[in-house]
């Protein structure tokens, strides 16, 4: 309405209004604006410290270790699961994509330290022998192999931190609690 032009214009820039509008806008990128913002704010500034910690535990340089957040595939799986009627996916999954993925990698670093990967030569050798590609990848799978919320699995030299869409973000700290079992 013409008589209301300029009234309460600050409301259009509130997060609850602006982010849905940005997500709904035309964009050929595979991630929503909200997901990219979460990655930018939460994951990107902090992942280097976690990568350094893991590299140090393995006696490697930071750039020798690859942490693959697998954002696009994770986003696709979570989006598909969130569109299923009666799903149990968190409403805020897009904004937490970066922070939760970071938490999975931080949990890996914590469990590696707790399980003495950096202190015990045999454990470290076993890790490096099994995870010979020095790549750790997060992924969402349809079904877990060994646990109920999240788990660590090694396949073809890559260590996978994985959860189902329904349990994504739940009990993150335990993702690598059975790391030694995989070695």
**What is the chain's pLDDT, residue by residue, as a tens digit (183 residues)?**
567 666 666 655 555 555 555 555 556 667 888 899 999 999 999 999 999 999 999 999 999 999 999 999 999 999 999 989 988 888 899 999 999 999 999 999 999 999 999 999 999 999 999 999 999 999 999 999 988 899 999 999 999 999 999 999 999 999 999 999 888
Dist CA 106 CA 173 (whole Å): 8
Nearest to 175 by CA among 136, 142, 135: 136
C-beta of residue 127 within 8 angstroms of C-beta of residue 117: yes
Strand duo 66-68 + 150-155: pairing: unpaired
- Please give the pLDDT value at position 19: 58
- Please give the pLDDT value at position 88: 83
Domain assignment of residue 116, given as a range: 2-182
C-beta of residue 43 within 8 angstroms of C-beta of residue 99: yes
Element (H, E) at 109: helix 97-114
Dist CA 147 CA 175 (whole Å): 9
Tokens matching residue 19: 């982010």
Q: Which residues are bridge partners to 153 per DSSP? A: 160
Into how many domains does the chain fold? 1
- Please give the pLDDT value at position 7: 65
């Amino acid at each position: 309405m013409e008589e209301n032009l300029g009234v309460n214009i600050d409301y259009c820039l509130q997060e609850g209004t602006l982010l849905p509008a940005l997500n709904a806008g035309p964009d050929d990128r595979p991630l929503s604006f909200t997901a990219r913002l979460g990655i930018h704010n939460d994951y990107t500034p902090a992942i280097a410290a976690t990568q350094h910690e893991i590299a140090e535990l393995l006696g490697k340089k930071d750039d020798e270790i690859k942490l693959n957040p697998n954002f696009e595939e994770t986003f696709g799986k979570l989006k598909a699961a969130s569109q299923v009627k009666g799903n149990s996916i968190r409403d805020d999954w897009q904004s937490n994509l970066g922070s939760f993925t970071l938490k999975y990698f931080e949990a890996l670093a914590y469990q590696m330290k707790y399980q003495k990967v950096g202190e015990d030569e045999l454990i470290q050798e076993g890790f490096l022998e099994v995870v010979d590609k020095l790549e750790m990848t997060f992924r969402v799978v349809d079904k877990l192999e060994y646990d109920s919320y999240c788990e660590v699995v090694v396949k073809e030299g890559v260590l996978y931190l994985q959860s189902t869409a329904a349990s994504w973000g739940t009990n993150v700290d335990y993702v690598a609690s059975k790391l030694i079992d995989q070695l």
